Structure 1
Amino acid sequence: MFSVPLLRSHATVCLVDRDRLQLYHANRSVILVSSAISLYEGKGLDQFIAVIIAFHCLSFKQNGILDTFVEGNLESLVKNPQVSPDHKVVQHGNKLKLLNEESKEFIVTLGDVISRDPAIIGWSTVVLKATSDEWKGKKIVVKVSWPSVGCVRENNFLTKAAEEAQKEGSTWAAKHLPKVLWAGDINFGMASTFESVANLFKSATLVGGGGNFVYEERVLRVIIQEELHPLKSLGDVKEIGQVFVDVACVHRWLHDHPGILHRDPSPNNIMCRISEEPDAEGNLSRRVYGVLTDYDLSLWTKALKKDYSKTLQQRTGTPPYMAEELLRGTSTTHLY
């Protein structure tokens, strides 16, 4: 349903099984399923034709593809050579319009997908290569995700860490933190399909007196960062070892200084920054720095509850098999 890795708020599809069909609507928070329509009972055939006509009349925005963030009109969308010439999809080569700190528009041209979480419900994080005249000569990436409205912005953690890294005795940490170039949330507007569906659940209750249904509202969050190198791109054992040492040190520093508990130091979030720097003799030499990325699951240490109640504080992004204690069945208050 969300096979197009971009700014798509929702998707509606039709599932056909012999003479029956059902509509499915997913919007990152819930999946709505309609009653089945039989083509041979009552006005089933008329309803089916009406559904086809309705789908044909939907605009890109009504289909959940946010064309307002694409440069120009619908003709500017890049065609996928693997599908019919009549179909257009949002993919490699498209341009996003964003606003800088001075409220001036700038264009970001999207490239290849680096990583993607193909979830229907949840964060559905996608990271793409990109270029922009706003940062000429820089290799950048665009991270698109759908976190819960109540989650602390990843950029808040990184901004606090960057400020702390400017203090005396902590300047070394800056080399091991990702550099955020731009960050912002995308609002859809109260009249949008995304918000209209959310309003349906404000007073929803569970069948059978099970209480109120908790609808987890989500927000489209976009972050532009400098491009880093994945850990698997390194082939030298010494460089790999240094990266792990760097990440371990900055992980502890984040906890002790800016007060950030990362909770997700998994291999995919261990990256490296490669540069050419002068050595003691003035000759340029290759330097590799370990960088700890992805602060989506992070928490402020001052916000931790002593009883670790049932909240996201019990959630970890790092696979539990990496902590042997979690598999023994004994009680633990560790957070990873």
Structure 2
Amino acid sequence: MVCQLEQLSSDKLGQIPHPHLGDFDYLRDPQQFAQDFKHNPEGLVGAKYLFKCSDGYTRIFVIKRVLYRAEGIIDQASVVVEVECVCTESDCQWHRDRQVMKISFSSRGRSSEDALIWEARSKAESTGDLWAFNHLPQIIDSITITYDETTAQGRLKTHPKENYKERVMRVTVLEELHPLSELEDPRDLAQVFYDVLQIHQWLYECAGILHRDLSIGNVMFRQKDGKIYGVLNDFDLSSRVQDMSNGSASDQRTGTRPFMSIDLLNPNWEGGHLYRHDIESLFYIMLCLACRYRRPNVPTPEPRAYSAWFSGTDQQVFDNKNSFLTDPHAKAPPIQPYFAGFKPWLERIYTKLHSGYKRRPTYSSGVSSQPGIQSAYDEDDEDPNFDWNTLNKRASYTTMRSIMSSFEGKSLKTRWASWNRDN
């Protein structure tokens, strides 16, 4: 293998000139892109590229700024940039609103983000759940680029015979959404979280999609007619529920470490990615925001709360979270005054998760014992029908909805008004 690598030219090894030099690039070589910009995406600013769109047009865009570079996930880090179309087509929709381009490197066999979002939007249209459109990302265009067989990555894939996951580069252009840091009213923030809870459940129940990577960067909002709508963004690590049942989509533990559930950080966990793991992630997002920020865009001084969750190894974060969530004498969260309205939410959700983890059975069909997870050995431990997916309904949508549907004594807007309570 080393000998073959030595025979490759510099361009085949993925070494390319800076995008400011020469003609426009075509985003055609994922290896060169990853090598040059994965760790320093700021070098992309000012670059111009040709984008061969699905409508037949070839458009030129310039990268204006780097918005985000993902860290702490299983797949290679995604890069999200703001782009501006500079093509001459008068009817080009890229001229109308702010757009972002996401460049990610995922397994070729994994369902693409654009495919899952299109499925969800088609389901919303066919079922009449039009409210869901306001809470899903809007994709403008997307292309998938494979590694050429003459590149180092392309040659490398021919050698491992088993368990090799070939990767592709996915380039997706989407409507630009707003981050939580732009919100000023705590009630608007609460509505965004309640919206995300609703669309997450609708995706799971109606569209058959589990998100699997709730993080503070993936909870966003859009403004429409002066109103704010929470949006669940970034479906790179999402899976179809039917695929997860046969194990094809649950062989890797996905998520962003500070917001991952205890189970998914536990090396002994064998139960796959469950619905409640996303609910637990939503709790950590709200907890970290309320305790690590004075306001949505103003961090608290160092040392900040739960810093170990952001800097530790999987084992360290697991140990820390396990202690936090199962210790009856755990220190109360340092909720900042701006977020005082979230205290009842966080206390009630904490109680549910604490109780669920403490009381779940030590063993369950297909699930090994969980070292490090305490158990109270009460009536739930003897329950052969214990619902692991929701910790016996403690982390169910019904439970969360009852907690999050009002804020500071006033009801929030329920978007999914036709939800069936018997589900």
TM-score of the superposition, structure 2-length normalised?
Answer: 0.52
Q: Which structure has the highest helix share of the two?
A: 2
Residues 245-254 or 296-305, more deviating: 296-305
Measured in 2, the distance between the counterparts of 1:184 and 1:58 equals: 25
Among 204, 213, 222, which residue is 2:171 paired with?
Answer: 222
Measured in 1, the distance between the counterparts of 2:172 and 2:221 equals: 19
Counterpart code for 1:328: I
Match of residue 266 from structure 2: none
Match of residue 148 from structure 1: 107
Measured in 2, the distance between the counterparts of 1:128 and 1:185 equals: 17
Q: 1:158: Cα distance to partner?
A: 0.2
Gaps of 5+ in 1: 1-31, 35-50, 75-88, 204-211, 278-285
Q: Secondary structure at the match of 1:290?
A: strand
Measured in 2, the distance between the counterparts of 1:119 and 1:267 equals: 13
Among 1, 5, 10, which residue is 1:58 paired with?
Answer: 10
Matched, 1:320 2:320: no
Measured in 2, the distance between the counterparts of 1:271 and 1:177 equals: 10
Q: Secondary structure at the match of 1:112?
A: strand
Q: Secondary structure at the match of 1:125?
A: strand
Among 274, 289, 302, which residue is 2:229 paired with?
Answer: 289
Measured in 1, the distance between the counterparts of 2:255 and 2:248 equals: 14
Counterpart code for 2:97: K
CA gap 1:148/1:332 in 2 versus in 1, 3 angstroms: farther
Match of residue 136 from structure 2: 177
Counterpart code for 2:53: N
Match of residue 91 from structure 1: 44
Q: What is the number of residues matched between the two proteins?
A: 251
Q: Secondary structure at the match of 2:166?
A: coil
Among 200, 211, 214, which residue is 1:265 paired with?
Answer: 214
Counterpart code for 1:296: D
Q: Secondary structure at the match of 2:197?
A: helix
Q: 1:137: Cα distance to partner?
A: 2.5
- Encode CA deviations 1:165-192: one digit per residue, 9 max, x unaligned: 2235400110000000011111332222
Measured in 2, the distance between the counterparts of 1:311 and 1:256 equals: 18
Q: 1:58: Cα distance to partner?
A: 3.1
Counterpart code for 2:14: N
Measured in 1, the distance between the counterparts of 2:132 and 2:71 equals: 33
Measured in 2, the distance between the counterparts of 1:73 and 1:304 equals: 41
Q: Is the 8 A contact 2:179 2:220 kept in 1?
A: yes
- Encode CA deviations 1:132-156: one digit per residue, 9 max, x unaligned: 1431131011111111111111111
Measured in 1, the distance between the counterparts of 2:13 and 2:58 equals: 24
Matches within 5 A, 1:1-336: 58-59=10-11, 62-65=13-16, 72=23, 90-117=43-70, 122-132=75-85, 133=87, 134=92, 135-199=94-158, 201-203=159-161, 214-275=163-224, 277=225, 286-305=226-245, 311-312=250-251, 315-317=254-256, 318-320=259-261, 322=280, 324=353, 325=356, 328=373, 333-334=388-389
Counterpart code for 1:312: D
Counterpart code for 1:218: R
Counterpart code for 1:143: K
Q: Is the 8 A contact 2:46 2:63 kept in 1?
A: yes
Among the aligned pairs, what percent are the same residue? Answer: 28
Q: Is the 8 A contact 1:108 1:130 kept in 2?
A: yes
CA gap 1:262/1:92 in 2 versus in 1, 3 angstroms: same
Q: 1:267: Cα distance to partner?
A: 1.9
Q: Secondary structure at the match of 1:268?
A: coil
CA gap 1:176/1:63 in 2 versus in 1, 3 angstroms: same
Measured in 1, the distance between the counterparts of 2:73 and 2:244 equals: 30
CA gap 1:220/1:329 in 2 versus in 1, 3 angstroms: farther
CA gap 1:263/1:122 in 2 versus in 1, 3 angstroms: closer
Q: 1:316: Cα distance to partner?
A: 4.2
CA gap 1:70/1:121 in 2 versus in 1, 3 angstroms: farther
Q: 1:333: Cα distance to partner?
A: 3.8
Q: Is the 8 A contact 2:74 2:254 kept in 1?
A: no
Q: 1:127: Cα distance to partner?
A: 0.6
Q: Is the 8 A contact 2:136 2:233 kept in 1?
A: yes
- Encode CA deviations 1:262-304: one digit per residue, 9 max, x unaligned: 12222211000013x2xxxxxxxx2110000111221212223
Q: Is the 8 A contact 1:70 1:97 kept in 2?
A: no
CA gap 1:244/1:71 in 2 versus in 1, 3 angstroms: farther
Q: Secondary structure at the match of 2:63?
A: strand
Measured in 2, the distance between the counterparts of 1:223 and 1:296 equals: 11
Q: Is the 8 A contact 1:155 1:183 kept in 2?
A: yes
Q: Which structure has the highest strand share of the two?
A: 1
Q: 1:315: Cα distance to partner?
A: 3.9
- Encode CA deviations 1:92-125: one digit per residue, 9 max, x unaligned: 0111212112333111211211111368984211
Q: Secondary structure at the match of 1:165?
A: helix
Counterpart code for 2:131: W
Gaps of 5+ in 2: 26-41, 263-279, 282-352, 358-371, 376-385, 396-423
Q: Is the 8 A contact 2:210 2:240 kept in 1?
A: yes
